[in-house]
Amino acid sequence: MNDKPHYINHRQRLRERFGKAGADGMHDYELLELLLTYSIPRRDVKPVAKKLIEKFGGLSGVLDAGQKELEAVKGLGAMSASLIRLVKELYCTYLSEDILRGDVLSSPESVLNFVRVKLAGLTNEAFMVIYMNVKNEVIEHSVLYEGTVDNVAVYPRRVIESALSHHASGIILVHNHPSGNTMPSGEDRVLTQEIAEAANTLDIRVLDHLIVGKEGYFSFMENGLLPID
């Protein structure tokens, strides 16, 4: 008589499928289910995986969720919540390393991919600066400000000071719109103008201001809204 729980063989089949073909042919909930098997060893995790996908509207929503939001889902503990968040942080680090490999102006999609993963899923607005040297290579990036669901207070002077402290010759400004609407507000336009003018007096170039959201992005550079020297 076989007393082995039914999910044991199911887990093995999931691992074998992933081992042979990666994510190809696997549902999102199955990928999440497979991940959870490493933090929940003695329980059927398919119902939990499906519940997460339903609650957060998809796999990207699950990865964007915060620690407390994840822990609030029945059947998911602190360790599993941390594991899910770790996956996104690893992916952000992977993309971050990608933009450190060359001239960002020659591959703007790498910057866009990074900032969208980093900021687009946040529930509150955040403002980030990417610092570059004279060769347009990324030196560093940092989130300078975090705000509310529809506002973040940004001080141009501190943005310029942070650029100087990184010995940056150029900067890309980035912030997110949690609403999903990436069109710049009047305040966004004024802020960009003020930072660009202040930067110009110190020979620091503002190469772009990106607004990112769940459904897309807006580029000041692409839309001709950056001040011209």
Convert the pLDDT of each residue in 168-205 to its tens digit: 999 999 999 999 999 999 999 999 999 999 999 999 99
Architecture of the domain spanning 103-219: 3-Layer(aba) Sandwich (3.40)
Question: CA torsion, points 152, 160, 208, 65, in degrees to nearest 10?
Answer: -40
Q: What is the mean pLDDT of residues 28-43?
A: 93
pLDDT digits (tens, 9 = 90+) for 42-99: 889 999 999 999 999 999 999 999 999 999 999 999 999 999 999 999 999 999 888 8
In the sheet that holds 205-213, the strands lie side by side as 138-146, 126-132, 170-176, 205-213, 216-219
What is the distance between the alpha carbons of residues 124 and 118, in angstroms, rounded to a whole number? 12
Domain boundaries, the chain: 6-92, 103-219
Across the chain, mean pLDDT equals: 91
Q: How confident is the model at residue 4 (pLDDT cuts 50, 70, 90)?
A: low
According to the model, what pLDDT value does residue 104 have? 79
Which residue would you say has higher pLDDT here, 10 or 127?
127
Is there a contact between 171 and 132 (Cβ–Cβ < 8 Å)? yes
- Which is nearest to 153 in space by CA: 188, 118, 186, 204? 188
Residue 119 has pLDDT above 60, yes or no: yes
Q: What is the mean pLDDT of residues 138-142?
A: 93
Residue 3 has pLDDT above 70, yes or no: no
Q: What is the mean pLDDT of residues 206-225?
A: 94
What is the distance between the alpha carbons of residues 169 and 131, in angstroms, rounded to a whole number? 8
In CATH terms, the fold of domain 6-92 is: DNA polymerase; domain 1 (1.10.150)
3-state secondary structure of 176: strand
According to the model, what pLDDT value does residue 1 have? 46
pLDDT digits (tens, 9 = 90+) for 6-16: 677 888 899 99
